[in-house]
Amino acid sequence: MKAYEDIKKGERGAWVSIAAYLILSAFKLFCGYLFSSSALIADGVNNLTDIVASTAVLIGLRISQKPPDKDHAYGHFRAETVAALVASFIMAVVGIQVLVEAVRSLFEGSKAAPNLWAAGVAGIAAVAMLGVYRYNARLSRKINSQALMAAAKDNLSDALVSIGAAVGIIGAQFGLPWMDTVAAIAVGLIICKTAWEIFRDSTHSLTDGFDETRLSDFRSTIERTPGVENIRDMKARIHGNHVLVDVVIEVDPQLSVTEGHKISESIEERMVRKHNIMNIHVHVEPKE
């Protein structure tokens, strides 16, 4: 089944994120303490937590590959959405922790400016994470994986965090050492913002929320199908990495059951071809 194959591909993205975070977190923490940069240390701590978040995404992708059973007739696809939700909680906790530590550091008084080499480390890390983000974002769009997109957003926020850290460190070289701490506060705010976005998207999907614009596109495709007189009702919901669509159409009451069935098949073929929708339930009723 294509859905399971796509999820398997998504695991590669999760492993790429985990490997990148392992290497970069160790590198940033070591250099942060070596060059006395609180922004770089905060960035490294963020990456450590990202390992946990990416692992949660990986576990969710693994669970979602389980076939349907008596308790899960539709399969376990939503496990990856739950994994994205868990990742958002982990990111929020770390973001708040980084903010608290940064504010505390700000009120500790004057401190020495970090070594300029720390800015170079942050810059290298930013370039690396932008590469990981592009890989995961492209893959998540290809396989329509919400969990992997959450991981990609996390990758992008980490790249922005590293850029902010570099800016703070460079600013500290111009007699403003407090800018390094301010950059650490920016790190925390970016983490919290990303966590909120992932939480919002995940809960929207888990509560069967669906984009009205996208649903309108589906409706337009079905309405143009030969034989469809009217659409009485239509709804859709996200189920893991694919969409479930339910539609009630009205047809000429003089049509035979076989002809009505052919219209349903035509709708299914059009939805697959134009929108890559593999799961659509069509209920046919006579037009009054």
Per residue in 53-106, pLDDT tens?
A: 888 888 888 888 888 888 887 778 888 888 888 888 888 887 888 788 778 877
% of residues, the chain, pLDDT over 70: 95
Instruction: Write phi, then psi, for 245 (nearest 5 degrees).
Output: -120, 135
User: pTM, whole model, 2 decimals?
Assistant: 0.75
Mean pLDDT of the 9-38 span: 86
Q: How many CB atoms are closer than 10 A to CB 214?
A: 12
List the domains of the chain with CATH numbers.
2-206 (1.20.1510.10), 212-286 (3.30.70.1350)
Q: How far apart are CA 137 and CA 129, in angstroms?
A: 12
Highest-confidence segment of 31-40, 80-89, 233-242, 266-275: 266-275
φ and ψ of 108, to 5 deg: -80, -10
The pLDDT, as a whole number, for residue 109 is 60
pLDDT score of 4: 62
Residues 183, 164 contacting (CB under 8 angstroms): yes
Reported as a pLDDT band with limits 50, 70 and 90, residue 178 is: confident
Calculate the CA 147 to chain-centre distance: 5
Q: Which amino acid is at 13?
A: G
The string of pLDDT tens digits covering residues 145-176 is 878 888 888 888 888 888 877 887 788 778 77
Tell me the average pLDDT of the chain: 84
Residue 140 pLDDT class (50, 70, 90 cuts): confident
- H-state helical runs in 114-177: 117-143, 146-172
